[in-house]
């Protein structure tokens, strides 16, 4: 496996969240062929979910993005990580992470993963509390 | 409060159990009865990552669980007992030690040889047979993935097999 090959992403979620996230990414940045795929846990046993992730993650550097770090989808990804320490697993995926992934995926996988986690965390804000207001009254003086 | 829930769920400790059932049952302890997991520290760690701090998990073999069951029943702790399949729950229930208890069927997924019974429940003929035997041993069996879902009794799950179930019970 080469760390210099562009990284592929697998988004795994409960229900249709992964599919919906990829739909949003496709509308914002577009998704080059084969760069990001969505996996739902619907109808899949724990073993079947691991098998599907294994199938999709093989053949080059890959990041598995799971919806919740503590959820069963992430648990399936962690099982795969136990077999294949070369993959990267990121829990708590959000749209900003995936947008940055599509643009930055030529970076070495470990560097990319660290960047994505930082981007994803930084993207979570309370717009009314954390960001400057334009033309409005600050919350604290209301 | 003892054992609040005996549940069969392939995913064992996961969101439906911790959040869905946990919100109404408020367990202190989740016991996973599974011979393989009982000997696998790294897998135990995976399953416990998602637990809230007020809930602890224990992993036991079927043999250990059968020995511990009386103490769980009289424990001041609020306990959920999980197995990943019907076969393991049946082994736990051997000799009628779960007679009078209720077993909840959660997620059992599609696999070769299993028929779809509910969107979250697929059963093989051997598993249906095991359920019949559990019922015959005095266990109440029903399916319900979440507390807010409809409870589906074993007779309804087995559908066309209800008559066969009845005749088996009469024969005993």
Q: Return the domain boundaries, chain A.
A: 8-124
Asked if residue B11 is part of any domain, the answer here is: yes
Encode pLDDT of B36-88 as tens digits: 999 999 999 999 987 999 999 999 999 999 999 999 999 999 999 999 999 99
Mutation to test the A interface, candidates B45, B82, B109, B127, most A Cβ within 10 Å: B109
| Topology annotation, domain A8-124 | Rossmann fold (3.40.50)
B34 domain residue, yes or no: yes
Domains of chain B: total? 1
Which of chain B's residues have a Cβ under 8 Å away from the Cβ of A71?
Answer: 14-15, 50
Cβ contact (<8 Å) for B46 and A75? yes
In this prediction the pTM is 0.84
Q: Which domain does B16 fall in, by range?
A: 2-108+137-152
- For B18-35, write each residue's pLDDT tens digit: 999 999 999 999 999 999
- Per residue, what are the HEC states of chain B? CEEEEEEECCCCCCHHHHHHHHHHHCCCEEEEECCCHHHCHHHHHHHHCCCCCCCEEEEECHHHHHHHHHHHHCCCCEEEEEECCHHHHHHHCHHHCCCCCEEEECCECCCCCCEEEECCEEECHHHHHHHHHHHHCCCEEEECCCCCCCCEEHHHHHHHHHHHHHHHHHHC
Q: Is residue B15 part of a domain?
A: yes
Is B164 inside a domain boundary? no
């Amino acid at each position: 496996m080469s760390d210099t090959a562009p990284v592929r992403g697998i988004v795994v979620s409960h229900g249709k969240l992964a599919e919906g996230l990829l739909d949003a990414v496709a509308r914002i940045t577009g998704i080059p062929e084969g760069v990001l795929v969505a996996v739902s846990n619907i109808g899949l046993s724990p073993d079947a979910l691991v098998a599907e992730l294994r199938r999709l993650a093989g053949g080059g550097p890959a990041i598995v993005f799971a919806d919740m770090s503590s959820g069963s989808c992430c648990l399936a990804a962690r099982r795969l990580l136990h077999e294949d320490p070369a993959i990267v697993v990121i829990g708590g995926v959000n749209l900003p992470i995936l947008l940055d992934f599509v643009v930055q995926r030529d970076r070495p996988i470990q560097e990319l993963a660290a960047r994505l986690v930082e981007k994803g965390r930084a993207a979570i804000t309370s717009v009314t509390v954390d960001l400057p207001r334009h033309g409005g009254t600050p919350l604290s003086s209301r | 409060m003892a054992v609040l829930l005996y549940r069969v769920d392939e995913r064992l400790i996961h969101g439906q159990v911790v959040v869905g059932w946990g919100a109404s049952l408020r367990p202190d302890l989740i016991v996973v009865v599974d011979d393989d997991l009982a000997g696998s520290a790294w897998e135990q760690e995976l399953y416990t990552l998602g637990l809230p701090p007020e809930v602890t998990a224990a992993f036991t073999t079927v043999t250990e669980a059968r020995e511990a069951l009386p103490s769980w029943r009289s424990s001041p702790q609020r306990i959920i007992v999980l197995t990943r399949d019907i076969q393991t729950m049946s082994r736990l229930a051997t000799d009628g030690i779960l007679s009078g208890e209720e077993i909840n069927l959660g997620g059992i997924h599609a696999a070769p040889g299993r028929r779809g019974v509910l969107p979250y429940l697929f059963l093989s003929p051997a598993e249906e047979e095991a359920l019949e035997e559990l019922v015959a041993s005095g266990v109440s069996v029903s399916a319900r993935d979440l507390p807010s879902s409809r409870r589906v009794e074993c007779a309804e799950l087995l559908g066309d097999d209800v008559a066969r179930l009845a005749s088996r019970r009469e024969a005993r």
